[in-house]
Amino acid sequence: MSQTLDVAALAAAYADKSPQEVLKLAFEHFGDDLWISFSGAEDVVLVDMAWKLNKNVRVFSLDTGRLHAQTYRFIEQVREHYGIAIEVLSPDPRLLEPLVREKGLFSFYKDGHGECCGIRKIEPLKRKLATVSAWATGQRRDQSPGTRSKVAALELDSAFSSADKPLYKFNPLANMSSEEVWGYIRMLEIPYNPLHEQGYISIGCEPCTRPVLPNQHEREGRWWWEEATHKECGLHAGNLIAKD
């Protein structure tokens, strides 16, 4: 298992490779130490592909405490369907409780989503990623023209790497379109979140997610009260950094 990769060379070599080929590269170098990030949305395709390559695939999901009921049930459905453990990460109550006590449950509508996401998503993710060498996400270039249009198949995670501990981030679905993702889901009849049938495309926390109208971009359903070009919660903050 290699811990030193030529990221730029591999990103260029795998720019047009299939998701399965990118995942094979990830497993080749990191084996069971590669973790799959599963959000309870259409990145179930990533879980399906990874599981077919490695039945011991390791999966984690962030439970912000504010997810839709359908998402919680879907995470359990995926766990049972594949017979895998899904490590569910929760916010640190020592950080969350003072926020709720001082600002209530909906401060993000006034203050922006950064503080809430920082506690409910970023801190648990940072805690997890500090223990791993590589992770894979379901990011796609077509999800957000403003922040994800340059997502690479492989990158050094600029948000969560440290000087003495590089973190490698694989994005196997980067080249897939929404149409291709849903073609995969339908053809193979894999589970999906029932919220998709109600007009939800990009699914996050219940107070911060809404269905989109025809011809609206999927990210318009997230944090709709904020400026449109910065619709990232911080999980993929490197997208914003790279854009500047």
Q: Which residues are annotated as a binding site?
A: 116-117, 205, 208
Confidence at residue 221, expressed as pLDDT on a 0 to 100 scale: 82
Residue type, 108: F
CATH number of 7-240: 3.40.50.620
Confidence at residue 40, expressed as pLDDT on a 0 to 100 scale: 83
Confidence at residue 100, expressed as pLDDT on a 0 to 100 scale: 97
In the chain the first and final C-alpha atoms are separated, in Å, by 34
Q: In degrees, to the nearest 5, what angle opens at C-alpha 31 toward C-alphas 30 and 34?
A: 65
Confidence at residue 2, expressed as pLDDT on a 0 to 100 scale: 47
Confidence at residue 136, expressed as pLDDT on a 0 to 100 scale: 98
DSSP state of 121: I
Encode burial over 164-199: b for 16+ CB neighbours within 10 A, e otherwise. eebbbbbbbbbbbeeeebbebbeeeebebbebbeee
Confidence at residue 120, expressed as pLDDT on a 0 to 100 scale: 97
d(CA 174, CA 183): 16
Phi, psi of 92 (to 5 degrees): -75, 115
Dump pLDDT digits (tens) for 162-217.
888 899 999 999 999 999 999 999 999 999 999 999 999 889 999 999 998 777 77
Burial of 213 (0-12, 13-18, 19+ CB in 10 A): exposed
Residue type, 142: D
Task: List the catalytic residues.
Answer: 233
Rg (CA), the chain: 17
d(CA 221, CA 8): 33
Residue 39 CA from chain centroid, whole number: 6
**pLDDT tens for the chain, residues 1 to 244:** 445 799 999 999 999 999 999 999 999 999 999 999 999 888 999 999 999 999 999 999 999 999 999 999 999 999 999 999 999 999 999 999 999 999 999 999 999 999 999 999 999 999 999 999 999 999 999 876 555 567 999 999 989 998 888 999 999 999 999 999 999 999 999 999 999 999 998 899 999 999 987 777 777 888 888 866 555 555 655 554 444 3
Q: Which residues are annotated as a binding site for [4Fe-4S] cluster?
A: 116-117, 205, 208
Residue 84: which of 184, 224, 191, 164 has the closest Cα? 191
What is the SS3 assignment for 177-212?
A: CHHHHHHHHHHHCCCCCHHHHHCCCCCCEHHHECCC
